[in-house]
Amino acid sequence: MNSRIVILAVVARPLYLVILLASLWVLLRGHNEPGGGFIGGLMAVSATILWGVAHGTTAARARLPLGDAVWPAVIGLLLAAISGVPGLLDGEAYLTHRAWTLAFVSVELKLSTVLLFDIGVYLAVWGALAGYALALLAVDEQEQEGGPA
């Protein structure tokens, strides 16, 4: 795409960061309030699509974790699968979750296997759907450049 929109290209940089931060906020908020890995992952995908439209799909792909769409999907799936194992080790059902509260001087840090599961979902959704979206955008780019590249 030669005819990139300058305003979009300039705005995309701060927006990309804001959307990703918001998606992380939604991911973490999902612990006790509406939100979570799936919806957070979808927001991250929208950030990737924005970058793909503004700067091209190759650049957008390079900005994904580990520089490719498949890796976050794989790691996410494995993380989500592993998060169910601790419950299993204690002789309970798969995906029975564990939670711990770590107390620092004045801050309480809540950790749990649910969070691990949610991060897994987040990465899997981001990787898989961003992969699809970028592949579709790439088809568009080829057509605009006149035939398959």
Partner 1 sequence: MSALATAPAIVPLAAAALVTAVRSRPRLQQALAMAASVALLGCALALLAQVAAGETVVVAFGGWPSPMAIEFVVDRTAAALVLITALMGVAAVLFLASDADVGDRHPLLLPLLFGVLAGAGGAFVTGDLFNLYVWFEVMLICALGLLAIGARVDQLDASFKYLALNLLGTLLLLFAVAAVYGVTGHLNFTALAGAAPAVAPGLWLAVLTLLMVAFLVKAGAFPVYAWLPASYHTLPAPVLALIAGLLTKVGIYALLRTLGDVFSPAPAVLYEVLGWVAAATMLFGVLGAAYHWDMRRILAFHIISQVGYILLGIALASVAGYAATLFYTLHHIVVKANLFLIAAIIWRLTGSYDLRRIGGLYVTRPWMTLLLLIPALSLVGIPPLSGFWAKLLLLQEAIGQGRVVWTVVALVVSVLTLYSMMKIWMEAFWKRHPDAEWQPPADTQLAPAWAVTVGLAGVTVWISLYPQALLVYVQAAAATLGGR
Where along the sequence are the contacts to partner 1 (CB under 8 A)? 70-71, 73-74, 77-78, 81, 84, 87-88, 92-97
Query: Of 94 and 100, which CB lies nearer to partner 1 in the complex structure?
Result: 94
Q: How far apart are CA 143 and CA 148, in angstroms?
A: 7
Provide, rounded to whole angstroms, the least separation between the CB of residue 31 and partner 1: 15
**Is 59 or 88 the residue whose CB approaches partner 1 more closely?**
88
What minimum distance in Å lies between the beta carbon of 25 and partner 1?
Answer: 25
Least separation, in Å, of the C-beta of 137 and partner 1? 17
A 10 A CB-CB count for 26 gives 22
DSSP strands (E only) in the chain: 99-103, 108-112
Check residue 92 and report its DSSP letter: S
Cα distance between residue 98 and residue 132, in whole Å: 34
Q: Which is nearer to partner 1, 59 or 135 (CB)?
A: 135
Q: What CA–CA distance (Å, rounded) separates 82 from 99?
A: 15
Nearer Cβ to partner 1 (53/120): 120
Rounded (10°) CA dihedral 138, 8, 71, 36? -120
Nearest approach, Cβ of 2 to partner 1 (angstroms)? 27
